[in-house]
Amino acid sequence: MPILVTGGARSGKSTFAEKLSMFYGKQGVYIATAQIYDEEMRERVALHREQREQTGFTWETIEEPYELVSLLPTLEGTRIVLVDCLTLWLSNILLRCEGQPDANEQVMKQIQALVEASRNFAGSLIFVTNEVGSGIVPEYKLGRQYRDLAGLMNRKLAEVCEQVYLVTAGIPMEIKSKAVKL
């Protein structure tokens, strides 16, 4: 059962997704997509790890910034898989393709492959992602490209996810069941 957890930066998405994982079981796989490029990011990652350890929930952490799509099938049958975060994964993929004339097509292929891998995943698959399109229009082409691809990715995943949560100011709300159907 795929679940999407979205919201703004520092809204409480990861904390909620981890608590949701604990609701579904006693242990899980945590797929971290972040890459550590500087000391500030190293400190953030260390803090997240420490906070997870303090919960008593058993996590197997897999660091995978690129090959998320090929990793998911190897975890079939795992009761709980938490991916944190899709927008970091997307930026990794986009930067890998940057400057290539078919960059958007390459990224969209990865997004579609992720949607397909998620569609029938056996177990609880929880994705954390950011809502990046609610702010100002990015000044640079790459920023606008990223914003647009993130919005498309979130929409495509929301279609196949059984539940979609929006976290704002630390308050999670399940929104898919409340969607207006026209």
Q: Which is nearest to 47 in space by CA: 76, 10, 79?
A: 10
Q: Which residues are annotated as a binding site?
A: 7-14, 32-34, 49-52, 63, 84
Phi, psi (deg, nearest 5) at residue 26? -105, -15
Q: How far apart are CA 16 and CA 169, in angstroms?
A: 11
Show the tokens assigned to 85: 């975060």
Global confidence as pTM: 0.93
Binding-site annotation: residue ranges for GTP: 7-14, 32-34, 49-52, 63, 84
Round to whole Å and give the CA distance between 79 and 72: 12
CB 153 within 8 A of CB 113: no
Domain-by-domain residue ranges, the chain? Answer: 2-176
Answer yes or no: are the C-beta atoms of 61 and 49 closer than 8 Å. Answer: yes
List, edge to edge, every strand of the sheet that includes 27-32. 58-63, 27-32, 80-84, 124-128, 2-7, 163-168, 171-174
pLDDT in tens, the chain (182 residues): 899 999 998 899 999 999 999 999 889 999 999 998 899 989 988 888 888 888 889 999 999 999 999 999 999 888 899 999 999 999 999 999 988 999 999 999 999 999 999 998 988 999 999 999 887 888 999 999 999 999 999 999 999 999 999 999 999 999 999 988 88
Active site residues: 48
2-176: which CATH number, 3.40.50.2300, 3.30.2040.10, 3.40.50.1370, 3.40.50.300? 3.40.50.300
